Amino acid sequence: MLMNWCERSIDDTVVELGSSSQGLNSSEAQKRLVENGPNAIKSSRKKSKAAIFVSQFLNVMIVVLVVAAAVSMIIGEYADTIVILIIVLLNAFIGFFQEYRAEKAIEALKKLASPVSIVLREGVKQKINAAELVVGDVVLLEAGTKVPADMRLIECYSLKLDESSLTGESVAVDKVSIALKKPNIQLSDCINMAFKGTSVTYGRGKGIVTATGMQTELGKIAEMLEEEEAATPLQVRLKEFSKNLTVIIIGIAVLLFIVGYLRGNSMVQMLLLALSLAVAAIPEALPAIITIALARGAKILVKQNALIRKLYAVETLGAVTFICSDKTGTLTKNQMTVSEIWIPGGEEYQSNFLKAMHLNHDVDQRDGNFLGDPTEIALVLFVQAHPAFNNSWGEKHLRINEIPFDSERKVMTTIHTSDDRYLIITKGAVESIIGICNHIPDWELVSSRVEDMAGRGLRVIAYAYAETSLLPDEINPETIEKEMKFLGIAGLIDPPREEVKSSIEQCNSAGIISVMITGDHPATAAGIARELKIVKSDADRITTGTELEHLSEEEFENIIEHIKVYSRVSPAQKLRIVKMLQKKGHFVSMTGDGVNDAPAIKKANIGVAMGITGTDVTKEAAHMILLDDNFATIVRAVKQGRRIYDNVRKFIAYIMGGNTAEVVCVLTAPLLGFPLPLLPVQILWINLVTDGLPALALAVEPVEGDVMKKPPRKSDESIFSGGTGRKILLAGFFMGLLTVAVEYYLLKNNVENWQTMVFAVLCFSQLWYVLGIHSNRSFFKRDFFRNSYLFITVILTTVLQLFIIYLPVFNTFFHTNPLGLNQLLAALVISSLIFWIIEARKIISGHLKV
């Protein structure tokens, strides 16, 4: 257990692990390796190519189409069979290639450990593959390496670790080797432990391995990734839609078959009629069109630096109500910066303060790049950019000695030459610096400024100095760090990205709540959250992982919608937050880059990983990856997601309106004693071409202007909400009954090519229908070429329909006859009635927009 190793002394740890300060012997290490397995994180399960392809057919609508194809073959309608199967396969291949390409874009889960580790085996240093490490091994750590396993530290020499990928803490952590005695200790507080996957940024140390592979903290996170993923809103709605549509189609077809057969019609004739009804009702092109629309949306998002890994996630961002964002590297730059300095004295103090900042550090500068602790790099960059900076300070005050930083003193001291004297500079925690000063210009003012900076989330570093003509014989903290003069303080912060504030404001206007989830200190997190307007009022709550741990499920459920900042939370708690928000009916997006974000990212309705700073584990778990690590890209993706969902609703409305017209036509005519108005192959042509091409154009319909000013759609909202279902039925019944009325008139007047005329009227009606419904704005108040694809497809479909009517080869295949010019014009005029009715409705209902 993590808690036990933190609390145990070094001697107790060594004994319990059956090891020694000299490490294990080779035979014991080999035995443990065989028993416990390699020190590796198991890769997440991957779909094979075959499994990805087969999964494309696991859709109720596709199954219905396959059954329809089988029935068509049985009764000899081979053309119908071929066309249906082509559509089914086309949909499968599009889905397969998109999903497979996304899988290829992200490599499989990689090991975060260094491939080689230095261990002590029987007192001898050895380099071994990190996968061969076992519990009890003694590992040597040095700057620039990654920690290969969880370990209890037994020696630390100014050791600092970057644990941001695991805990979310942006500041390097100072490590110690002493036992800890703290209640309710959190992962980020275990300063005598080193965890697999973290990095050594400074110093050196030695640790004894306490856990390997899947037993490490990193491994436990990997296990959480086995959580079942949440279905996207569109998947939920299409599944419900397909199920309901299937029941309705089967019911109507069976009823029609029974009624017709009982009225004396032949079984074959009624089977043909029932099949025609099924073909008319099933939107054959819908799965393919939705897949193409989502794939195109994914392609657009890639150009906007967002890589979609799960195709159906394209539209999910348009439905999210909460964006739970990691702070470090997502909302902030993950780059410590000096925000401000405060110097209590006059000009002399400023010069000495800046000189101290320039001299007291361990930053190494190579080829214009700075190497070292992020905090020290920030201090150096600040002083070098200051107008009063003097580059000769380093030459004038050569460093001759130093006392390294350690976590107990919390200060670092350097000693420099200063003409015929010595300059001593100390920097570190404010309380430690004050403790060694005998001269502070204004203690109350210093205390007030420190409190103000800390309250705004800044990390405060203090400086002090002393001058002496003689150094003691022994250089140590007791002899050097005393009777110093207080110089001033520097406030550092990991600053927000410049574009994040405006992005969050857009989220607010779109009804999306932004929440910060971080491993940082509560004061730091709160300061950033207030600056970004995530926390805007007293009603917005800030809580910590420790407080969250003591909340019951009921208490947490009551307040979760008011919590805007979670500080120092564990991976399991992040997962709990996402689950609770989902329980409250929210669609949740979780963004982040660290390993600690991965379980929550996978469980979220849409998980968003950072492409540049994100770990491989996080990318593997995500639905979408931000290639530029830019929070503003999320807002663009939200806008794109909303556009795609609106367009999906538009082409579903178009296709279902046309299919309703076909069902009404095919069902009403026989019940009125008329001949079958359309043949199955003609219905299939309308469904695949007349429906399909304009529907594809609707998929690229530009975004409506107010899309980011609307609240997110409700989690239980139907595709047919907002009167869409009613409008579909009214339009479908009108077009269907209009077609039957045309059939009645033509039969009454003994027109020979009546069926071709009926075919043309229904086809053209749907083309007029799409011109009417592609926007809520009036057709005449919009840029005519705003969606040029729509007009191109309408013209193309019209030309194809004319080929069907007038070319002999198609006359034979589709059972059509050429129309006279007057008949063609009549078909165009009669079919346009639906367009004028829709335009009139826009005016009457007040939807006309200038």
Annotated active-site positions, please?
Answer: 326
Grouping H, G, I as helix, E, B as strand and the rest as coil, residue 428 is strand
Nearest residue to 152 via CA among 12, 38, 22, 27: 12
Kindly calculate the radius of gyration of the chain based on its CA atoms and give it in whole angstroms: 35
Amino acid making up residue 547: E
Helix extents (H) in 362-480 = 374-385, 393-396, 430-435, 443-455, 477-480
Strands (E), 13-149: 116-121, 124-129, 138-142
Distant-in-sequence, close-in-space partners of 691: CB < 8 Å, separation ≥ 6: 283, 285, 654, 655, 658, 659, 766
Encoded tokens for 264: 């004396």
Strands (E), 531-594: 541-544, 563-567, 588-592
**CA pair distance 127, 139, nearest whole angstrom:** 10
For 607, phi then psi, to 5°, come to: -100, 135
For 230, phi then psi, to 5°, come to: -80, 145
CA separation, residue 169 to residues 241, 380, 806 (Å): 45, 22, 72
Distant-in-sequence, close-in-space partners of 319: CB < 8 Å, separation ≥ 6: 233, 587, 605, 641, 645, 712, 713, 715
Question: Hey, how many other C-beta atoms are within 10 angstroms of the C-beta on 346?
Answer: 9
List beta partners, residue 116. 129
Helix or strand (DSSP H, E) at 577:
helix 571-583
**CA pair distance 250, 499, nearest whole angstrom:** 54
Grouping H, G, I as helix, E, B as strand and the rest as coil, residue 181 is coil
Nearest residue to 773 via CA among 842, 718, 670: 842
List beta partners, residue 344. none
Residue 449 · residue 489 · CB < 8 Å: yes
DSSP secondary structure of 11-46: HHHHHHTT--TT-B-HHHHHHHHHHH--S-PPPPP-
Encoded tokens for 199: 């990095």
**CA pair distance 272, 740, nearest whole angstrom:** 19
List beta partners, residue 626. 306, 610
Nearest residue to 64 via CA among 312, 290, 281: 281
Place of tokens 């920097």: 427
Residue 6 · residue 180 · CB < 8 Å: yes
Report angle CA 447, 452, 454 to the nearest 5 degrees.
Answer: 95
**CA pair distance 246, 723, nearest whole angstrom:** 22
Encoded tokens for 455: 């309250």
What secondary structure letter does DSSP report for 311?
G
List beta partners, residue 205. 141, 156
Nearest residue to 521 via CA among 576, 428, 455: 455
**CA pair distance 226, 237, nearest whole angstrom:** 25
Residue 429 · residue 410 · CB < 8 Å: yes
**CA pair distance 465, 821, nearest whole angstrom:** 100
**CA pair distance 801, 763, nearest whole angstrom:** 8
Encoded tokens for 609: 């990983």
Strands 173-174 and 199-211 come out as unpaired
